[in-house]
């Protein structure tokens, strides 16, 4: 794989996004890291080998102009955009009365509109490179979880991924939905040994992007071996 290929990741400051950045650099990509936490992104750039391998761009995916700036920074600094991983997102307490309306507001905007904005901003660049779109869905986007608006947002991402795939059909751009089960990340407040590691998902992402150009892995669904639901 050429080392000129460029991999943009949102939600890159921790968990699945950060683990994917490590695997992408290992595979020869240069990575562009988007999230709101500048300090974490700067530390990750250092851990990935510095400015020749990685670029940090402070990004709030709910803001359209931040998504435009993320893609522009990737093109200006590294020359192209080959992969975009719309991964930023977070959850909420289950139960229709158990979370604040403000938290719901921010979660829906981040998980749904944020992902749509990131892909929208990237499409012209991806068409030019016959690149690859990946979105982080969830097991919760394949089965309804009780009292979970989070689950509803991930059902939206499941549908969004297929909508994007059909919209880009024939352009050479590939689309992959990554649907994880439980992964041990800051997503959860309580630690558990029964979950996947972020690197387990990162390897799935790299599997999808490393296929020959005529192969489009449309969805990868990964659960830990002990997950019931």
- Which active-site residues does the annotation give? 150
Residue nearer to ligand NJP on the CB measure, 15 or 131: 15
Interface with ligand NJP, residue 90, by CB under 6 A: yes
Q: How far is the CB of 171 from ligand NJP (least distance, A)?
A: 25
Interface with ligand NJP, residue 149, by CB under 6 A: no
**Residue number of the CB atom closest to ligand NJP:** 15
Interface with ligand NJP, residue 13, by CB under 6 A: yes
Residue nearer to ligand NJP on the CB measure, 64 or 129: 64
DSSP calls for 127-182: HHHT-EEEEE--GGGTSPPTT-HHHHHHHHHHHHHHHHHHHTTTTT-EEEEEEE--
Using CB atoms within 10 A of its CB, is residue 191 exposed (0-12), middle (13-18) or buried (19+)? exposed
Residues in the chain: 229
Please identify which residue in 21, 161, 187, 220 interacts with ligand NJP, judged by CB under 6 A.
Answer: 187
Closest CA to 87 of 66, 114, 62, 58: 114
x-marked contacts with ligand NJP along 16-35 as a string, rule CB under 6 A = xx-----------------x
Please list every residue from 61 through 80 that binds ligand NJP, using CB under 6 A: 61-62
Residue nearer to ligand NJP on the CB measure, 169 or 218: 218
Rg (CA), the chain: 16
Question: If you search the block for the tokens 């990554």, which residue do you land on?
Answer: 178
Question: If you search the block for the tokens 């530390």, which residue do you land on?
Answer: 43
Please list every residue from 118 through 137 that binds ligand NJP, using CB under 6 A: 136
């Amino acid at each position: 794989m050429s080392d000129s290929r460029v991999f943009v990741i949102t939600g890159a400051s921790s968990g699945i996004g950060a683990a994917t950045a490590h695997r992408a650099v290992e595979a020869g990509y240069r990575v562009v890291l988007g999230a709101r936490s500048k300090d974490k992104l700067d530390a990750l750039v250092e851990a990935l080998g510095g400015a020749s391998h990685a670029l940090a761009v402070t990004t709030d995916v709910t803001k359209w102009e931040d998504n435009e700036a993320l893609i522009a920074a990737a093109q200006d600094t590294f020359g192209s955009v080959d992969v975009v991983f719309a991964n930023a997102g977070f959850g909420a307490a289950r139960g229709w009365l158990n979370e604040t309306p403000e938290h719901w507001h921010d979660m829906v905007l981040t998980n749904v509109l944020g992902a749509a904005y990131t892909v929208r901003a990237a499409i012209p660049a991806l068409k030019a490179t016959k690149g690859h779109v990946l979105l982080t869905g969830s097991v919760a986007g394949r089965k309804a979880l009780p009292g979970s608006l989070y689950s509803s947002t991930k059902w939206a991402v499941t549908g969004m991924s297929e909508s994007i795939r059909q919209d880009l059909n024939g352009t050479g751009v590939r689309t992959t939905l990554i649907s994880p089960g439980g992964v041990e990340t800051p997503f959860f407040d309580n630690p558990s040994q029964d979950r996947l590691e972020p690197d387990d998902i990162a390897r799935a992402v790299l599997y999808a992007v490393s296929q020959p150009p005529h192969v489009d892995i449309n969805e990868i669904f990964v659960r830990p071996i002990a997950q019931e639901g």
